[in-house]
Amino acid sequence: MSTSPPLLLVGHGTRSDAGVAEFTRFVGQVRARTRDRVPAVDGGFIELARPSVADAVARLAAQASGGPQPIVAVPLVLTAAGHGKGDIPAALARELVRHPGLSYRYGRPLGPHPVLQDIVAARIDTALAGAPRRDTHVVLAARGSTDPDANAEIAKVARLLWEGRGYAGAEFCFISLAEPSVPAALHRAVLLGARRIVVAPYFLFPGVLPDRVVAEAREFAAGHRGLDVTVTGLIGSCDELAGLVLERYDEALGGDIRMNCDTCAYRVALPGFADKVGRPQVPHFHPDDDHRHEHAAHEVLS
């Protein structure tokens, strides 16, 4: 019998039924892939959708023999923004109160990682359908954050995606909370001479925001005759992503968590964000949470 700890996949949550279904499918995919080495795999959201993190942790705790045991929590987020740095750890801290004796190791966010860049490049090739890369400008469209470190990471991903792959150019943009916007990035590509643009939504699973990327890209294309704008598929529940999750799982077990804290707004006073330094982190409200221990959990997290 495996002595490895169970794996908890933590998602943000979405109002998209398709996004919830894809997350659930991915949890099952990871579970099937790890059957011989991980005793249990479950997943939950911190807000907006079921199952909640509380539900997933309760299921893992119920499967443990001999009392509570450690778990490994891997955040299904692409950048180390507020969700990965604060909201998810706060939700997990609340579960420690609800399940005395429980402990956890916390994995790194998924990106940036060469595996993700290769997946995005494959989605771009599919969208190109044989058209040459050298005549194609790529626009990487991400969620956007109030965390400047996370937004800077997207710029890095766009640059790494461009390097060595032969695209005519690569821009980055955000669909919410940060600039440049999707139309602004598309306009910049046009000013740089683009006649063919592939928009690559940098999202794991379907949701409201990736749908908005598609809508804004189509609207821009409709206003620019002669411009070829295509939107790629999402990263999705692929084997490569499952392998990356297991890499993060192994890192957490091995203690090799190389998080970059040099530009973290919660540790360093960055211009315009100094009020974030040392800010207490509290979990999101989830309507399915059991509130019997809410007061005790709040005391722990405050």
Helical spans, DSSP H, in the chain: 17-33, 53-63, 82, 88-98, 114-128, 148-162, 182-191, 208-222, 239-254, 294-301
Tokens found for residue 20: 């919830």
Query: What is the rounded CA–CA span in Å between residue 123 and residue 204?
Result: 12
Counts for the chain of helices (H) and strands (E), in that order: 10, 8
Give the model's pLDDT for residue 265.
72
Query: What is the rounded CA–CA span in Å between residue 130 and residue 53?
Result: 43
- Successive 10-residue mean pLDDT values, the chain, 302 residues: 85 96 98 93 96 96 80 96 90 94 95 95 98 97 95 96 96 98 98 98 98 98 97 98 97 80 70 79 69 46 45
Report the 10 Å Cβ neighbour count for 17: 10
- Helix (H) / strand (E) element for 111: namely none
Half-sphere exposure of 74 (CA within 13 A, CB side): 26
Query: What is the rounded CA–CA span in Å between residue 186 and residue 174?
Result: 12
Query: What is the rounded CA–CA span in Å between residue 28 and residue 8?
Result: 12
Instruction: Identify any residues that bridge with 8 across adjacent strands, giving them in sequence order.
Output: 42, 73
Give the model's pLDDT for residue 292.
42
Question: Are 56 and 44 spatial neighbours (Cβ–Cβ below 8 Å)?
Answer: yes
Query: What is the rounded CA–CA span in Å between residue 210 and residue 266?
Result: 28
Q: What is the mean pLDDT of the chain?
A: 90
Query: What is the rounded CA–CA span in Å between residue 125 and residue 103?
Result: 43
pLDDT in tens, 6-52: 999 999 999 999 999 999 999 999 999 998 899 999 999 999 999 99
Give the model's pLDDT for residue 3.
79
Instruction: With CA atoms as reference, report the closest residue to 208 among 234, 184, 187.
Output: 234
Tokens 């595996």 label which residue? 115
Report CA dihedral (261, 266, 267, 273) to the nearest 10 degrees.
110
> Which burial class, exposed, middle or buried, applies to 294 when counting CB atoms under 10 A from its CB (0-12, 13-18, 19+)?
middle
pLDDT in tens, 264-302: 777 777 677 788 788 876 777 676 765 544 444 444 444
Give the model's pLDDT for residue 140.
98
Give the model's pLDDT for residue 286.
72
Give the model's pLDDT for residue 256.
72
